[in-house]
Structure 1
Amino acid sequence: MTPEKSPLTYGELPPEDALALLGNDIRTAILWTLSEARGGEGPPPVLPFSELRRKADLDVESSRFNYHLQELLGTFVERVPPEETDDDAQVVSELASTPGEGFRLRPEGTTLIRTIRTWSDEGDAWLAPFELDQECYHCDTALEAEYDNAIFAIRCPGCEYVYDYNLTPPGVLGDDREETLDNVAAYNRSQRLAFARGTCPLCGNAVDAEFVAGEETGYPRGDLRTLLVRRGCDHCGNKDNLTLGEVLLRDARLVGFCAERGLDVTTTPIWKLPFAATDRHTTIDATDPSKATLAVDCDGDTLTLTVDDSLSVVDRRL
């Protein structure tokens, strides 16, 4: 009879305790070694104790290495018994390793290393301000883009209106400016659409929604804004502010309406969509409870969508 397996559990430690496990160079070397062994392909590999220690290339005795490995078990690393070779491998005991078994990253460990890789760059992750082939919708000045301190920003140097200001990993930086802008547009869209659908793009938790008046957003030129929809995750703390147009980019009727008139809003950079980049097409219909309407003009026709304070579309008119 095959013994019943207990399910893997994640998030057993409070965040501060999980972070405390990383304060040692042997432990970080173990995590990095297990990650590097993957080679970018396939599931996380299982490394026997001796191979893991050899690949980590640390000048420490076996008992000390094993102690720090045990500290990582159950949070960032799991032990795979010799009889378990599939993806359902479980962490078994906290005893020293035995011949035939091995170790691999748990999802938390994989995510940790991926996060470090995502926000790390060997060179200077920086772009001096450069001009875009697009004019500001408010003052007709050419827009500028720059990347500094992990923030990619697109703004107008004339009226100071901010079109995009987003925490963005250095991986968006391409070989030229056009490639970089394409990468930024795709990355930002994925983040905003996740928030628009009510899901945190980092942890998958549901996010809340709050209508914030333009003057209270903290953005430059609040006088040019009608409202922003502030979405936040109470689990991981991730937050973002979206225009009503960005929120409604998920709406199938809006996508179809624009597509029928030759505008693909699923690939066009958000800063090139007037109804999403500005509030010029947004009106506040009511407060307490909140209700707002977006008017999307395309090829001579106008689609209006009204949302309530839960961001549900309560009315569509063409």
Structure 2
Amino acid sequence: MTERSAERTYGSLPPDEALALLGNEVRAKILHTLSEARGGRGPPPVLPFSELRERTDGSVESSRFNYHLQQLVGTFVERVDPRAEAGADDAQPVSEMAATDEEGFRLRPEGTTMVRTIRAWSVAGEATVEPFDLEQSCHHCGGSIRAQYRNAIFAIQCADCEYLYDYNLTPPGILNGPDDRLLERVAAYNRQQRFAFAQGTCPLCGGGVDAEFLEPETTGYPRGDLRSTIVRRGCSHCGNKDTLTTGEFLLGESEVIAFCRRRGLDLMDTPIWEVEFAATDRRTTVEATDPWRVTTAVELDGEALECTVDETLEVVDRERY
């Protein structure tokens, strides 16, 4: 048996069996109802059986509704005896199958995560943003940088030299909010994703990630001639992956953060595409490839912090000048 096939959810089911539980309209509606009851505030509420059934679909026969509810219990939904939670001495063990109004139901963490994932990838209307120019010139050619959102990809690219600044899988939920703050939300989302990968943690599942340097021409990025190398980071647990410049990897380095902040550049609040040493390889030099040794210079106000990383992405040398 492989390690992956031996995996179990908190509900002690293999992942494929847990997903199979959702293949029913009533069960999907139950999860949605429990999520809606929370309203985005406070802990997951506990709904009695009759209230849960009425909010979900009162036309569904009680026994049939109870059957589908029980299929979710233990994996996506939790059974709760309110008296037990309150510390009552006469609280009784919760029955395994027969639901009563003396107990209630609420989402387990897996159920909350499932519903949130669906919502994150849902949006009213057309999930596209037509190309528009940013108030920033290309670091390479001085041309216009243009952004657009299509097919769940938010892309930021120079309209003249075609250098690609960002090409990120982004949930359409990013469109929920004021249009004039769209770029702020995109920048914050991308920064959170890249910072986690840079620090060796998968932003999706929290697992550790591997790392390797790649030749730019092998990645499919346009204008590979303008790149020195690409850092690929991937999670073997959930399969999430991303590619970063060496400068983007250094965004998580405390010494780099402090160096920039003292000179007026807040890396925690600046879109990555505006930070030249992270958005491009103009300040990056490949010293060797076997093994890899790559140096990136952070230059501000006439001073520089030069960081060298090895093939394991450990910073092995720092120099100021």
Q: Which residue does the alignment assign to 1:266?
A: 268
Q: What runs of 5+ residues in structure 1 fail to find an aligned partner?
A: 1-8
Q: Is the 8 A contact 2:48 2:100 kept in 1?
A: no
5+ residue gaps in structure 2? 1-8, 87-92
Q: RMSD of aligned C-alpha atoms?
A: 1.6
CA shift at 1:190, angstroms?
A: 0.5
Q: Map 1:222-301; keep pairs closer than 5 Å.
A: 222-301=224-303
- 2:143 aligns with one of 117, 124, 141: 141
Cα distance in structure 2, aligned partners of 1:236 and 1:161: 30
Corresponding residue of 1:4 = none
Aligned-pair CA distance for 1:282? 1.1
SS of the residue corresponding to residue 83 of structure 2 reads coil
Q: Contact 1:26–1:58 (CA<8 Å) still a contact in 2? A: no
Determine the C-alpha separation between the residues in 2 that align with 1:11 and 1:102. 18
Partner AA of 1:161 in structure 2: Y
Give the Å deviation of 1:256: 1.2
Give the superposition deviation at 1:203.
0.7
| Cα offset, 1:176, TM superposition | 3.0
Alignment match of 1:216 (pick from 203, 215, 218)? 218
Match of 2:178 among 175, 178, 195: 175
**Who is 2:16 aligned against?**
16
Shift of 1:51: 1.1
- Structure 1 residue 121, shift from structure 2 partner: 0.6
2:3: which partner in 1? Answer: none
Q: Residue 125 of structure 1 aligns with which residue?
A: 127
Q: Name the amino acid aligned to 2:146.
A: E
Give the AA of the match of 2:178: D
Change (3 A) 1:299 1:11: farther
What whole-Å deviation, never above 9, does each CA across 1:201-237 have from its counterpart, x for those lacking one? 1111111111111121211111111111101111111
Q: 1:92 to 1:309 in 2, by over 3 A?
A: farther
Q: The residue matched to 2:64 in structure 1 has which SS? A: helix
- Taking the aligned partners of 2:292 and 2:206, their CA distance within structure 1 comes to 26
SS at match of 2:38: coil
2:111 to 100, 109, 112: 109
1:73 is aligned to 2:78: no
Q: CA deviation at 1:93?
A: 5.4
* SS of alignment partner, residue 144 of structure 1: strand
CA distance in 1, matches of 2:95, 2:299: 63
3-state SS in 1 of match to 2:135: strand
* Structure 1 stretch displaced more, 9-18 or 191-200: 9-18
Which moved further from structure 2: 53-62 or 106-115?
A: 53-62
What is the TM-score normalised by the length of structure 1? 0.92
Please give the per-residue CA displacement for 1:296-317, whole angstroms capped at 9, x wherever unaligned.
1111111100112221111111
Amino acid at match of 2:44: P
**TM-score, normalised to structure 2's length?**
0.91
CA distance in 1, matches of 2:162, 2:248: 20
Counterpart CA distance in 2 for 1:166 and 1:92 is 46
Q: Which amino acid aligns with 1:42?
A: G
Partners of 1:44 and 1:264 in 2: how far apart?
A: 36
| Alignment check: 8 A CA contact 2:46 2:105 kept | yes
Say if 2:210 and 2:234, in contact at 8 Å, map to a contact too: yes
Give the Å deviation of 1:172: 2.5
Matched residues in 1 for 2:138 and 2:301: separation? 20
Alignment partner of 1:83: what SS?
helix
DSSP 3-state at the match of 2:84: coil
1:172 counterpart SS class: helix
Secondary structure of 1:115's counterpart equals helix
| Partners of 1:110 and 1:193 in 2: CA distance | 25
Counterpart-to-counterpart distance in 1, 2:68 and 2:268: 48
Please give the secondary structure, in 2, of the residue aligned with 1:60: coil
- How far residue 99 of structure 1 moved from its aligned partner, in angstroms, is 4.2
